[in-house]
Each structure stands twice: as structure tokens, then as C-alpha cells.
């Protein structure tokens, strides 16, 4: 897969057609960091600025959703990493993923998580588990989530974080083809979210529960081909990375004829354009994701799903 492009994440392989794909370990063993292309990337950004300013520029570059801007963002991240001016380092792992370099991000996450931490970096474990799953390393992903569950913070954050980990287990098991385990994890997460009492962000917990419930409900079907949908326009809201995504689905002659989104997603790897197109083209919610845009993709699919339920999807 070409690096830095807005394409679905797939395990890469240098093997000849018809041969066995390279394992993740084999791909990591041949991974060169930094990659050769980084030398050719230029930036006009003044790297004497502190990291707190540079990280805003990097996120701006990623929000442009262009391969050359992604690479410039990764270049800046790498330059600040070499200066050892990059906070605790978690953004190095995050930005290689957001910049479209999933294999590099696996390595960066592993290095970050191997460092000592005063508190368990739950989000990093969840992110690495998702990456492992996308490379087909489900047992490794499960082990990551086990470590996250074993390191839950103390109250008042414990219940919400436990729900986050349970939702991640659900995603992993769903991708793994273990539907019953996915249902159990999603069900527990949906139940826990409304009971959590974090110091802030509590107003979003019912929405998180609804998103997880949508994933749970979606496990009951795989295709829209046999669905009987009523013509009309249907609207719903989904919780994206940057806030609400307003979804409008038009059904014409029993099929999805249009999907419109109103949103404030910025670093979405063009998911807000690509995912609706894929759903419409395939007339299915089982569409490929996009590296670095999992939250946006899930939100769009969940929003469309709830619109379709209004249209009579059972």
C-alpha cells in the first residue's frame, strides 16, 4: 500500500503474487526508521518553536488530508523527536498513525509502551490493539487490552475507562470474527458508560453508550441487499472525533441514493467523503476503514445505520 495516501489499512507485503503475505514481525524486521522518503520531505516551519506550538502545526497539516501534507507533518514530528522536545512521546506514536504510516506507528507505540509510566497509558494500549487487529494480530491486540484493563485508573475515572476498554474488546472480537464475545463486550460497555461519573466529559457518556449499542445492533446483520427500506430522508447524529456528525440519508426506490454529512471533523483522512461513497456504492455498512480515521469511520457508519433503522431496517 502506498504510504501516506488515504487508503484503507491493510497488512503490507513485498512478497510476489500468490505467495504467503509477510507477517507483522517480518514487516517490522524490514522496517527502516526513518524511511528513505523522509529525507526528500521539506518544511518551512521554524523548528526553533517549542513543541506546544509545533504540534498545532502538525495537526493543521494532517487536517489538509493530502499525502504531501501528511509527510510534512511526520517530518516535523521526527525532527522534534530528534531534539527530544516532544513531551512524553505519545504523540510520536499517534502522529505516525494519523499521517498514514500504520506499520511505523506499531513500532512507535511498542517503544512508547515499553517505557516506564506513572499511570497506565490506556489510550496507547487501545490504539496499539486496534493496529494489531488491522494487521491480523488479534491475540496481540487482546493482550494489549488485557494490560489496559489491568491498569485502570482509580476513581472517579475507573468506570469510564473500563467502558472504553470493553468497547475496544468489542471492536477487536468483531474484527476477529468472534461475534458472541464482541456482543458481550459491547453490551457491558453500553451498560457502564451511563453509570460513570468522571470529573468532566460526563455529558458525552450517553452518546458513547449509544454508539456502542449501534455496534452491538450491527452485529445482527451483514448486508442491506435484502432489506426493505421506505423511501424518504432520515436524520441522526453520531459522535465523531471532533464532535457531532449530522447524518442525512436519502432512500429512493428502496436503496441508499445519497448520504450527506455536516461535521467538524478535521483529521479524518477524508473519511467523511470516502466512507459515505463506499456505503452508497456497495449498499452495505460493511465497508473498509481508513488508517488513522477509525473514530470518524465508526461514527459515520453508526449514524447511517440508525437512519436506516428509521427507514425500516430490521
Structural domains of the chain sorted by starting position, each given as residue range(s) with its CATH number in brackets: 1-115 (no CATH), 119-220 (1.25.40), 232-310 (3.90.1010.20)
Average pLDDT over residues 296-307: 92
Tell me, letter by letter, the H, E, C secondary structure of the chain.
CCCCCCCCCCCCCCCCCCCCCCCHHHHHHCCCCCCHHHHHCCCCCCCCCCHHHHHHHHHHHHHCCCHHHHHHHHHHHHHHHHCCCCCCCHHHHHHHHHCCCHHHHHHHHHHHHCCCCCCCCHHHHHHHHHHHHHCCCHHHHHHHHHHHHHCCCCCCCHHHHHHHHHHHHHHHHHHHCCHHHHHHHHHHHHHHHHHCCCCCCHHHHHHHHHHHHHHHHHCCCCCCCCCCCCCEEEEEEEECCCCEEEEEEEEECCEEEEEEEECCCCCCCCHHHHHHHHHHHHCCCCCCCCCCCHHHHHHHHHHHHHHHHHCCCC
Give percent of the chain with pLDDT exceeding 70.
Answer: 92
Residue 291 has pLDDT above 80, yes or no: no
Residue 87 has pLDDT above 60, yes or no: yes
Residue 15 has pLDDT above 60, yes or no: no
What does the pLDDT read at residue 57? 97
Residue 11 has pLDDT above 50, yes or no: no
Residue 6 has pLDDT above 50, yes or no: no
Model confidence at 270, in pLDDT bands (50, 70, 90)?
confident
Residue 3 has pLDDT above 60, yes or no: no
pLDDT tens digits, 227-263? 789 999 999 998 888 788 999 999 999 999 999 999 9
pLDDT tens digits, 140-151? 999 999 999 999
Give percent of the chain with pLDDT exceeding 90.
Answer: 77
What does the pLDDT read at residue 221? 65
Amino acid at each position: 500500500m502506498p504510504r501516506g495516501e488515504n487508503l484503507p489499512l491493510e497488512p503490507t507485503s513485498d512478497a510476489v503474487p500468490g505467495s504467503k503475505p509477510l507477517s507483522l514481525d517480518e514487516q517490522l524486521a524490514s522496517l527502516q526508521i526513518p524511511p528513505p522518503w523522509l529525507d526528500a520531505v521539506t518544511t518551512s516551519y521554524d523548528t526553533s518553536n517549542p513543541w506546544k506550538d509545533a504540534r498545532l502545526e502538525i495537526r493543521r497539516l494532517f487536517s489538509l488530508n493530502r499525502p504531501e501534507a501528511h509527510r510534512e507533518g511526520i517530518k516535523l514530528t521526527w525532527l522534534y523527536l530528534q531534539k527530544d522536545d516532544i513531551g512524553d512521546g505519545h504523540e510520536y506514536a499517534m502522529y505516525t498513525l494519523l499521517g498514514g504510516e500504520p506499520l511505523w506507528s506499531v513500532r512507535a507505540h511498542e517503544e512508547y509502551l515499553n517505557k516506564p509510566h506513572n499511570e497506565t497509558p490506556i489510550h496507547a494500549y487501545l490504539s496499539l490493539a486496534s493496529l494489531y487487529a488491522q494487521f491480523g494480530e488479534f491475540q496481540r491486540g487482546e493482550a494489549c487490552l488485557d494490560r489496559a484493563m489491568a491498569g485502570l485508573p482509580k476513581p472517579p475515572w475507573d468506570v469510564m475507562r473500563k467502558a472504553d476498554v470493553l468497547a475496544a474488546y468489542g471492536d477487536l472480537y468483531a474484527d476477529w470474527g468472534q461475534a458472541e464475545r464482541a456482543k458481550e463486550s459491547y453490551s457491558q460497555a453500553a451498560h457502564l458508560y451511563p453509570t460513570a461519573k468522571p470529573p468532566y466529559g460526563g455529558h458525552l457518556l450517553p452518546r458513547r453508550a449509544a454508539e456502542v449499542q449501534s455496534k452491538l445492533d450491527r452485529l445482527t446483520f451483514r448486508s442491506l441487499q435484502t432489506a426493505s427500506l421506505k423511501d424518504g430522508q432520515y436524520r441522526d447524529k453520531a459522535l465523531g472525533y471532533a464532535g457531532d456528525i449530522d447524518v442525512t440519508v436519502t432512500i429512493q426506490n428502496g436503496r441508499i441514493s445519497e448520504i450527506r454529512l455536516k461535521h467538524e471533523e478535521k483529521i479524518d483522512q477524508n473519511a467523511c467523503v470516502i466512507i459515505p461513497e463506499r456505503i452508497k456504492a456497495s449498499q452495505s455498512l460493511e465497508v473498509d476503514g481508513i488508517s488513522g480515521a477509525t473514530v470518524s469511520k465508526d461514527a459515520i457508519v453508526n449514524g447511517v445505520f440508525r437512519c436506516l433503522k428509521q427507514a425500516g431496517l430490521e
